[in-house]
A and B are shown apart, each in its own frame.
Chain A
Amino acid sequence: MQAYELDSPERLRNHLARERLLYQPQADGQGALRWQRLDDPAQPFVVPAEPPVFSAKAFFFAEREALFRYENGRFIALVPEARPQVLFGLAACDLTAVAYQDRFFAVDPHYQARRAATLLVGLDCAHSCRHGFCAMMDSGPEVRAQTADLILCPLAQRWLLLVASERGAEVLAGLALQPAPADWAQQRDAQALQVAVEQGEQEEIALGCAALNGETVDSQAWEALGLRCLGCSGCTSVCPTCSCFAPLQQPSAGGVVQERVWDSCLYQGFQQEASGHNPGATPGQRVQRFWYHKFGEDFRQRFGRDGCVGCGRCDAVCPGGIGVHQVMKRIGEP
């Protein structure tokens, strides 16, 4: 991997923003960090201490996507107009999730149209966030190969810029950069190790995962967790790998538009059939299903890795107190 020294991330960012819409995590003044379009090049780039509220998911798998329009006996495909854009400052966990969804939505034209127009600039984490356990989930803390075009690595006094794809190399044209010192890789590895140490052993995740796959969790334990699930859809909305959607018909000026909208497998109605039959009838079954999708061995085989990337957003967003750490702790208890 080609490595450069970088005096400031803003210089790279503003270079990239010249020909693309650029999004970066920005504080909203009310306590949240959100992906926002960069309108002012003087805006500083601040390294996030906690992950932004949303991952990059919505940039590709839009929360509301028009699929087609029906008008006068014809169905007209509606593929999004994809403008060149760059996501600047994506953490390793979120990039791993993008790679996971790239594979899941490999043949989805709407996803791929947005994805193909996007340049991904990763950011190694120099410190662990509050709920994160990316080191254990093999998705961080340093950005994984093949998941980004460019990688920023904040070291103690300076920045490293790593070129992680051909496209990443191309977009640097015209930007004056000095090669990084020879030991950059060791420094980067040491920092990643330090973050992994900060995250600790995450024993409850390991035990919970084992219990989940060892089929040692009885249905009562799941129902006890299910009682705490309000079916709010928060976890599935913020989860960077959740991908379920539902159809929505929208009347519009030119006929009826078929949209797809984010759905949640925690809703009772998710599998309910017109006949009344519901394979996922109880809240416990649905909670179990959600976690099986994230940590189940079958899914791991099918998609090449765990569905969970260890970002910890579900811990923060769950009003029932059954985010990943609490659930894994409860089901992993002997």
Chain B
Amino acid sequence: MQVIPSICTFCGVGCGLGLRVEGGRVVGVEPQPGHPVSAGQLCAKGWASGFAIDAGNRLRTPLIKEHGQFREAGWDEALALVASEFRAALEAVGPDGVGVISCAHATNEDNYAAQKFARAVLGTANIDHCARICHSPSVAGLGRSLGSGAMTNSIADIDEAELILVIGADVSENHAMIGARMLRAQARGARLIVVDPRRTRLARLADQHVQLRVGSNIALLNGLLHIIFANGWEDRAFLAFRCANEAALRAHVRALTPELTSAQTGVPVLALYELARAYSQARRAFIAYGMGITQFQSGTHNVIAVANLALACGQLGRPGTGVNPLRGQNNVQGACDMGCLPDVYPGYQKVSDPEVREKFARAWGVAQPPAPGLTSLGMSEAALRGEFRALMVLGEELVVTDPDQHKLARALQALDFLVVVELTLSETARFADVVLPAASFAEKDGTFSNCERRMQLLHKAIEPPGQARADWQILAALAERMGYAGMRWASAEEVFAEMAALAPPFSAISHARLEQAGGLQWPCDEAHPDGTAILHRHCFPRGRAQLIPVSQVEPDECPDADYPFCLTTQRLHFHYGGGAMTRKSPLLEREIPAGLLFIHPQDAARLGLGEAQGVRVASRRGALETRAHLTDDVPPGTVSMPYHFREAPCNRLTNSAQDPISHMPELKACAVALLPLPPGQAPRIELERPQEAEYAGL
């Protein structure tokens, strides 16, 4: 028995843990006392890490699909096939018709390798990852308002805050150690306010729960600004010296009276005043937000509206303040940092800047694509149009987590070639022509960046099963086979060193320096050799912050006579993403039936729907059957589903209407109709799978 320090592979909080290794497998974990984020605690998912990577159903060799059936293959054969298929696609349609979807679950080194493979080997700008469907509006919105898209402050700032405002985030379930810290702060006297259409656990424990109507964030935030300006509660000095465009913002919210805001949001006028006063008058107020802000067609504007509120009240650049997006995946921050986005290179260097392109062309020895590429949804739309032919997906479960499942499945089937790099035969991998076995976080060295920009080191604790390899090794081998010699790294440390030399915000970080407890927070460069806990202390990257007036946008699809309920989506404490890892725990799998619809008892009574009764849920895009759970967590008229279950995939129902700026799909709101199944009739499970895609060896 040995215990190897590591970082949790689930959400973006980045908790420290020790992997308990016995007989070449991870039998369990211990928490990490003294860790700057998790302080010796873990959530249910973290505690189940050992099960998540268990060898039981892991892929051990590459798989090649022939006549709809997978067969085992060696690396040579599989890589040769992948290389020739990409070459064929490149010859047929050029670099715009191929792409890579990288992985927010993988290390920074894997992600650096993924975007380099796309840009230097395939010569395409089509590189993206699932930040598209979680925090692409944060990158876009905070970039426009503040000049940087990451959490402005640190998780430890919660300890300093006098007021904590949570908007659209189910923190105690999804970022449990941040939720725990918020509750500890509340116990010490901080005021905790939760803005959420759902009555979450944190909302129940909060000092104030502002239960707004789904999709009325901008109306609420503008309405608060109106009250703040009308009462002179704004921070005049901060506005005068640190912000631009104040007059326009004032003018924009002038007509948005509390009564109007109340009508738009469903929040009582008194509660609006209470919230506006509390936030603006707190000495240190910390905003945390999640996908209740971003997953709307107005996602970028929602983020800007949050930034406007914080700027007007001067709640930025100091301890205990800030605008803090809570990132979903353990390394979604890192995947963004590494440039797995179609418009930026590592370190957020813009593709649209010719000097940046020239810099990378020189460093990599390959001419760079001239313009930003397609987003992940852009790639699937291009595939449906026949313009996009070959795709590599690293570790993302698109079939379960992307909107409009039927459409996505059609897009995957429209491709000439799909290669998926995965731990197990995921739902997405079943659509692939080639599946390559990947090493899990415990089976490789590398780094993760948590949501507070903290890079932390992972150590290889066990050998990967069978022939599985780290993503960066797979990509390097493929690059070699495609005639590119610039990815011959001997170690993850070398990958990191190459990256840090090209990306200024990380220039003073190395694996050796990350050996220190707690890692380092970027920007970490010559000017900030020990990293940066709080951004924007003295100025914003763009000088002054921009106050950008934005207006309320209703969801693309609102309830109507045919589809009378608003469906929103959520996560559960016990599961993560498409469930491929957490559902391997017999304990977590036992907690929740595979699929649930949360519905208010009043609505259920009106429909004649009982607890645990089957129900058919239909939207304009698809239908599924699942079981009802009656709860006043959701308000009447709104129903909610978790997205973890392939058996009841809420993303068969969701809308792919997109934010025009970030191309974030509107996952948080669509219209559905409900039809109770006869009592005693079990829900029918229809998996979204290609025909005959079974692999007998698994």
Query: Are chains A and B touching directly in their complex (CB below 8 angstroms)?
Result: yes
Q: Which of A50-58, A153-161, A182-190, A192-200 contacts B (4 or more CB under 8 A)?
A: A50-58
Residues of A with Cβ closer than 8 Å to B? 23, 28-37, 50, 53-54, 58-59, 62-64, 227-228, 230-234, 237, 246-248, 250-251, 261-264, 267-269, 272, 276, 316-321
**How long is the Cα–Cα vector from A23 to B20 in the complex, in angstroms?**
14
The reply to whether A250 and B54 contact each other, CB–CB distance below 8 Å, is yes
**Nearest B residue to A59 by beta-carbon distance?**
B1
The reply to whether A228 and B205 contact each other, CB–CB distance below 8 Å, is yes
B232 within 8 Å of A by Cβ? no
Contact A36/B2 with A53-B31, A63-B20 known, Cβ cut-off 8 Å:
yes
The reply to whether A62 and B27 contact each other, CB–CB distance below 8 Å, is yes
Residues of B with Cβ closer than 8 Å to A? 1-3, 5, 16, 18, 20, 27-28, 30-35, 40-44, 46-47, 50-51, 54, 56-57, 172-173, 176-177, 179-180, 183-184, 187, 201, 204-205, 515, 517-518, 573-574, 586-587, 590-591, 612
Contact A29/B517 with A34-B18, A276-B612 known, Cβ cut-off 8 Å:
yes
* A-B CB proximity, top 9 nearest: A31-B34, A269-B590, A319-B180, A63-B28, A34-B3, A53-B30, A30-B517, A319-B41, A232-B44
The reply to whether A251 and B56 contact each other, CB–CB distance below 8 Å, is yes
**How long is the Cα–Cα vector from A230 to B177 in the complex, in angstroms?**
11
B2 neighbours in A (Cβ, 8 Å)? 36-37
- With a 10 A CB-CB cut-off, give which of A54, A227, A233, A318 has the most chain B CB atoms: A233
The reply to whether B591 and A227 contact each other, CB–CB distance below 8 Å, is no
- Min distance, Cβ B166 to any Cβ of chain A, angstroms: 16
B18 neighbours in A (Cβ, 8 Å)? 28, 32, 34, 53
The reply to whether B3 and A35 contact each other, CB–CB distance below 8 Å, is yes
**Nearest A residue to B181 by beta-carbon distance?**
A319
**How long is the Cα–Cα vector from A268 to B31 in the complex, in angstroms?**
22
The reply to whether A267 and B5 contact each other, CB–CB distance below 8 Å, is no
The reply to whether A53 and B40 contact each other, CB–CB distance below 8 Å, is yes
B586 neighbours in A (Cβ, 8 Å)? 246-248, 261
The reply to whether B187 and A321 contact each other, CB–CB distance below 8 Å, is yes
**Nearest A residue to B27 by beta-carbon distance?**
A64
- Min distance, Cβ B627 to any Cβ of chain A, angstroms: 10
The reply to whether B573 and A231 contact each other, CB–CB distance below 8 Å, is yes
A-B contact pairs, 28 of them (CB 8 A): A29-B517, A31-B16, A31-B35, A32-B34, A35-B3, A37-B2, A53-B30, A53-B40, A58-B28, A62-B27, A227-B204, A230-B43, A230-B44, A230-B573, A232-B43, A232-B44, A233-B44, A233-B587, A234-B47, A261-B587, A267-B591, A272-B590, A317-B41, A317-B42, A318-B41, A319-B176, A319-B177, A320-B183
**Nearest B residue to A249 by beta-carbon distance?**
B586
**How long is the Cα–Cα vector from A276 to B680 in the complex, in angstroms?**
12
The reply to whether A36 and B3 contact each other, CB–CB distance below 8 Å, is yes
- Min distance, Cβ B423 to any Cβ of chain A, angstroms: 16
B177 neighbours in A (Cβ, 8 Å)? 319
A237 neighbours in B (Cβ, 8 Å)? 28, 47
The reply to whether B587 and A267 contact each other, CB–CB distance below 8 Å, is yes
The reply to whether B30 and A64 contact each other, CB–CB distance below 8 Å, is no
The reply to whether B587 and A31 contact each other, CB–CB distance below 8 Å, is no
**How long is the Cα–Cα vector from A268 to B57 in the complex, in angstroms?**
26
B44 neighbours in A (Cβ, 8 Å)? 230-233
- Min distance, Cβ A326 to any Cβ of chain B, angstroms: 9
B46 neighbours in A (Cβ, 8 Å)? 232
A58 neighbours in B (Cβ, 8 Å)? 1, 20, 28
**How long is the Cα–Cα vector from A317 to B46 in the complex, in angstroms?**
13
Other A-B contacts than A63-B28, A319-B41, 6 sampled, CB-CB below 8 A, are A32-B5, A54-B30, A233-B44, A234-B42, A250-B54, A318-B41
**Nearest A residue to B187 by beta-carbon distance?**
A321
- Min distance, Cβ B395 to any Cβ of chain A, angstroms: 23
A268 neighbours in B (Cβ, 8 Å)? 591
Contact A30/B35 with A37-B2, A267-B590 known, Cβ cut-off 8 Å:
yes
**How long is the Cα–Cα vector from A62 to B50 in the complex, in angstroms?**
13
The reply to whether A319 and B47 contact each other, CB–CB distance below 8 Å, is no
- Min distance, Cβ A182 to any Cβ of chain B, angstroms: 41
B34 neighbours in A (Cβ, 8 Å)? 30-32
The reply to whether A232 and B28 contact each other, CB–CB distance below 8 Å, is no
B33 neighbours in A (Cβ, 8 Å)? 31-33, 50, 53, 316
The reply to whether A232 and B42 contact each other, CB–CB distance below 8 Å, is yes
**Nearest A residue to B186 by beta-carbon distance?**
A321
A64 neighbours in B (Cβ, 8 Å)? 27-28, 50
The reply to whether B30 and A30 contact each other, CB–CB distance below 8 Å, is no
A272 neighbours in B (Cβ, 8 Å)? 590
- Min distance, Cβ B653 to any Cβ of chain A, angstroms: 26
B187 neighbours in A (Cβ, 8 Å)? 321
Please tell me which one of the listed residues B1, B40, B47, B205 contacts residue A233 in the complex, with CB atoms under 8 A apart: B47
A54 neighbours in B (Cβ, 8 Å)? 30
The reply to whether B28 and A262 contact each other, CB–CB distance below 8 Å, is yes
B27 neighbours in A (Cβ, 8 Å)? 62-64
The reply to whether B180 and A320 contact each other, CB–CB distance below 8 Å, is yes
A23 neighbours in B (Cβ, 8 Å)? 1
- Min distance, Cβ B516 to any Cβ of chain A, angstroms: 9
- Min distance, Cβ A181 to any Cβ of chain B, angstroms: 37
**How long is the Cα–Cα vector from A54 to B20 in the complex, in angstroms?**
11
B172 neighbours in A (Cβ, 8 Å)? 230
**Nearest A residue to B515 by beta-carbon distance?**
A29
The reply to whether B40 and A232 contact each other, CB–CB distance below 8 Å, is no
B57 neighbours in A (Cβ, 8 Å)? 251
**How long is the Cα–Cα vector from A251 to B698 in the complex, in angstroms?**
10
- Min distance, Cβ B51 to any Cβ of chain A, angstroms: 8
The reply to whether B201 and A227 contact each other, CB–CB distance below 8 Å, is yes
The reply to whether B32 and A30 contact each other, CB–CB distance below 8 Å, is yes
**How long is the Cα–Cα vector from A20 to B204 in the complex, in angstroms?**
53
B35 neighbours in A (Cβ, 8 Å)? 30-31
A250 neighbours in B (Cβ, 8 Å)? 54, 56
A318 neighbours in B (Cβ, 8 Å)? 41
- With a 10 A CB-CB cut-off, give which of A28, A50, A262, A267 has the most chain B CB atoms: A28
The reply to whether B30 and A34 contact each other, CB–CB distance below 8 Å, is yes
**How long is the Cα–Cα vector from A34 to B19 in the complex, in angstroms?**
11
Contact A30/B47 with A232-B176, A262-B28 known, Cβ cut-off 8 Å:
no
**Nearest B residue to A247 by beta-carbon distance?**
B586
**How long is the Cα–Cα vector from A13 to B498 in the complex, in angstroms?**
46
The reply to whether B32 and A31 contact each other, CB–CB distance below 8 Å, is yes
B50 neighbours in A (Cβ, 8 Å)? 63-64
- Min distance, Cβ B579 to any Cβ of chain A, angstroms: 15
- Min distance, Cβ A254 to any Cβ of chain B, angstroms: 14
- Min distance, Cβ A46 to any Cβ of chain B, angstroms: 15
A228 neighbours in B (Cβ, 8 Å)? 183, 205
B591 neighbours in A (Cβ, 8 Å)? 231, 267-269
**Nearest B residue to A259 by beta-carbon distance?**
B586
- Min distance, Cβ A242 to any Cβ of chain B, angstroms: 13
The reply to whether B587 and A263 contact each other, CB–CB distance below 8 Å, is yes
- Min distance, Cβ B120 to any Cβ of chain A, angstroms: 36
- With a 10 A CB-CB cut-off, give which of B44, B172, B201 has the most chain A CB atoms: B44
